[in-house]
Amino acid sequence: MRYERQLLIPQIGQSGQEKLKKSKVTVIGVGGLGSPVLTYLVSAGVGRIQIVDCDVVSESNLNRQFLHHTVDIGRAKVLSAQEKLASLNPEVKVSTVNQRLNPDNVKEYISGSDVVVDCVDNAETRIMAAAACMELDIPLVEGGVRGFYGYVMDIGKDYPCLSCLGYDTVKQKTPVPVLGVTAGIIGCMQANECIKLLLGIGAPLYGRMLNYDGLSGNWEEVHVKKAADCPIHARAEAGKRGK
Ligand SMILES: [Zn+2]
């Protein structure tokens, strides 16, 4: 009954639903993007979900991170999220990693995932996750927001990544301005990409960066090419050879 309406979709049906149940997804970051991503993956019946975050809930999170409520201030985000998700759909196994990802542990945590969804707010983790996913050949759904603007793109070892675009790891020193609804829109797009990738349906956003401008209401698709001198693709190749 829970999945009745999505079972009616020809591209999903019973076999797609079983595929979702057998799938494992890792979501890095349980904030403004992670909240919609996790809510929709859990409600869609993705069987196993691992959430990674080392933060605690603060009041300034609450304008966009809707898995956390006022009573959760001060609690670990992974536990606050796990509790809400278990209440939403007890059929899904939600495991937690309350640790900061670093170059030594990232591959261990994401290994075995069918898809990784990047919901972080810092360039360092984004680049690290992208390199690890490419090395392990796991599709990665990337998304980001600033103000009314957001983007979403799928990344894979044979497809362009953010570094191909010249994205660098300069640390953001001040909080990124974000409207909650913008993170919600982009997070929903990431959840949609994740479900497409798990089911092998539709046209994934590989090499296609979808940019959203909430003020004009426009979506713009930018075609991205894999850069020959991309350091992340080079690192993933070198990591693979080193095994
Ligand atoms: Zn690249």
CA of 40 to the centre of ligand 1 (A): 29
CA of 182 to the centre of ligand 1 (A): 26
CA of 23 to the centre of ligand 1 (A): 26
Report the candidate in 166, 179, 138, 136 with the shortest Cα–Cα distance to residue 229. 166
Provide the CB-side half-sphere exposure for 46 (13 A, CA): 30
CA of 238 to the centre of ligand 1 (A): 13
CA of 200 to the centre of ligand 1 (A): 23
What average pLDDT is seen over the chain?
95
Per-residue model confidence as pLDDT tens digits over 161-171:
989 988 776 66
* Per-residue pLDDT at 155: 97
**Is the pLDDT score of 101 beyond 70?**
yes
CA of 161 to the centre of ligand 1 (A): 4
**Could you tell me which residues come within 8 angstroms of residue 70 by beta carbon, excluding any fewer than 6 positions away?**
59, 62
3 state DSSP class of 194: helix
* Per-residue pLDDT at 243: 56
| Strand-by-strand arrangement of the 24-28 sheet | 93-97, 48-52, 24-28, 115-118, 140-146, 149-155, 208-213, 218-223
How many whole angstroms from its chain centre is CA 151?
12
Residue type, 14: Q
The strand pair at 24-28 and 48-52 is best described as parallel
Percent of the chain with pLDDT over 70: 98
* Per-residue pLDDT at 236: 83
* Per-residue pLDDT at 83: 98
Mean pLDDT of 8-29: 98
CA of 186 to the centre of ligand 1 (A): 22
Which contiguous run of DSSP H or E holds residue 134? helix 123-136
Inter-residue contact 141 to 173 (CB < 8 Å): no
CA of 240 to the centre of ligand 1 (A): 15
**Rounded to 10 degrees, what is the CA torsion of 54, 196, 137, 43?**
30
Mean pLDDT of 133-161: 96
How many whole angstroms from its chain centre is CA 149?
17
CA of 164 to the centre of ligand 1 (A): 4
b/e map of 60-96 (b: 16 or more CB within 10 Å)?
ebeebbbbbeeebeeebbbbbbbbbbeeebeebebeb
Q: Measure the CA–CA gap between 109 and 24, rounded to whole angstroms.
A: 12
* Per-residue pLDDT at 215: 97
Per-residue model confidence as pLDDT tens digits over 112-144:
999 999 999 888 899 999 999 999 999 999 999
Residue ranges per domain, the chain?
A: 4-242
Q: Measure the CA–CA gap between 82 and 51, rounded to whole angstroms.
A: 8
**Is the pLDDT score of 175 beyond 90?**
no
CATH homologous superfamily, domain 4-242: NAD(P)-binding Rossmann-like Domain (3.40.50.720)
Per-residue model confidence as pLDDT tens digits over 54-87:
999 999 999 999 999 999 999 999 999 999 999 9
Per-residue model confidence as pLDDT tens digits over 182-196:
999 999 999 999 999
CA of 3 to the centre of ligand 1 (A): 37
